Amino acid sequence: MLQGVKRLAPFEWEVPVGYVPGMRVPGRFFLSDELAETLEEGAVQQLANVATMPGIVKNSLAMPDIHWGYGFPIGGVAAFSIEDGVISPGGVGFDINCGVRILTTPLSEKDLTKKRELIERLFNAVPTGVGAKSSLRLTQKELDGMLTGGARWAVRQGFGIESDLVHCEEQGAMAGADPAAVSAKARQRGMPQSGTLGAGNHFLEIQAVREIYQEDVAKAFGLTPGQICVMIHCGSRGLGHQVCTEHLKVLEGATKKYGISLPDRQLACAPLTSPEGEAYFGAMAASSNYAWANRQVIMHMVRQVFSEMFHILYEEMPLVYDVAHNVAKLEEHNVDGRRMQLCVHRKGATRAFGPGAPDLPGEYAPWGQPVIIPGSMGTSSFLLHGTRGAMERTFGSTCHGSGRVMSRIKAKKVLSGRKVKDALAADGIIVRAPHDGAIADEAPEVYKPSAEVVRVVDSAGISRLVARVVPLGVIKG
């Protein structure tokens, strides 16, 4: 482990105040000895840098998927007081509300006799990859509806059912969205991309439930062994990226305007209550709603394909849950024995609210929020539930995935997309992508092992394992 970093518990480490000048609070991260071998010094430096920001509360945090990012480390969590805290695009990321949802079906593995045909139908139904364009033809008024209404807007347009909304974080729409803070260029990028999968680590995956760890919780989530599920991972596409790009420039100026001293210009921020901070929050919330609507439309397309191919009812494919990462949200948490309104940034981290959280569906309330931690192509994904421990120690947060150990550029240099595809096919996993190059940079070996990552959060008590699902077919952006 890095010099100066202290071990607090088997899976918890502290970066003490003084690790970098100006730290207001300690840094904390969660990691096993095995994962510590992949820990980047630069990511720990970023974690410490975040601890210097005005108004930060309790700790700067990072989950076991920690790796170097823009400003904040990916896997980073930080909460700021409303009164004297800040908001930072570097603590959200460029792909605003990149998130994951999983739906179940009444099918089992033996029913997938035409798996390749299913993958092809889904690939043809869901526009995928760089430059993918939606079949939707939105007007500016409709885009405004998407930016304010999120998944609610999509359901009202016929892309889903009402029960979907109670199974989304924030019921699929974040309050405070301001479409006026989304530029014409961002809107132009978003207009043709609603209902598209995108590129990078985004995917649509056919999965089977392979292992159940807690039968009572799995039953509440609607999961049974051997059941076929579909996982969708995507975000706000070009619209969110443009929003981040533009508001970063504004907030770089605001950092100077408000006399905020930072060790890294990528942490550009503004007071939450400033005009610049409020404008970014409004644009970020609007982008988040676009992402929820995007996933909702994709799920509608998936349901249609399954209904047509397997003659099952649309309503027989319920949404288990949709969780967001890459957001900053206004939440109330206990801090040193008192309730505080905070702005919680989760970048490459996801919410893991515990039992009794106010916005959970009734059947989930005794257990806590469903948490979805996807693997990479060929590796298991996991469903977990949030805990009271997470509420006390991580502002109700856990990791969002496995975390990269190899850059996309390096992966494309050292790996062959064709060979990765063939190796997965030999294991019975069909991969479909716009081109083989889209496969190489998301190969299983470029990520930390998902099983080890979830072992850490389960052992640390910040989310508990419920079920393991394995990929049968993957569509990559």
> Which pLDDT tens digit goes with each residue over 184-196?
999 999 999 989 9
- Over the range 222-240, which residues count as b (16 or more CB within 10 Å of their CB) and which as e? bbeeebbbbbbbbbbbbbb
Q: What is the mean pLDDT of residues 270-282?
A: 98
Tokens of 296: 């909702």
Which residue has tokens 């959970």?
Answer: 360
Task: Compute the mean pLDDT over every residue in the chain, rounded to the nearest whole number.
Answer: 94
In CATH, what number does 6-405+447-476 get? 3.90.1860.10
Q: Is 400 a catalytic residue?
A: yes
Residue 76 zone, left/alpha/beta (φ > 0; ψ -120 to 50; rest): beta
Residue 403: its pLDDT value, please? 60
- Pick from 25-39, 137-151, 189-203, 401-415: least confident: 401-415
Residue 458: its pLDDT value, please? 97
**3-class secondary-structure state, position 35:** helix
Query: What pLDDT digit, counting tens, does each position of 200-209 carry?
Result: 789 999 999 9
Q: What is the mean pLDDT of residues 375-397?
A: 95
Residue 446: its pLDDT value, please? 65
Q: What is the pTM of this model?
A: 0.95
Q: Of 241, 325, 385, 400, which is the active-site residue?
A: 400
Query: What pLDDT digit, counting tens, does each position of 135-193 carry?
Result: 888 999 999 999 999 999 999 999 999 999 999 999 999 999 999 999 999 999 999 99
Question: 340 exposed, middle or buried (CB, 10 Å; 0-12, 13-18, 19+)?
Answer: middle
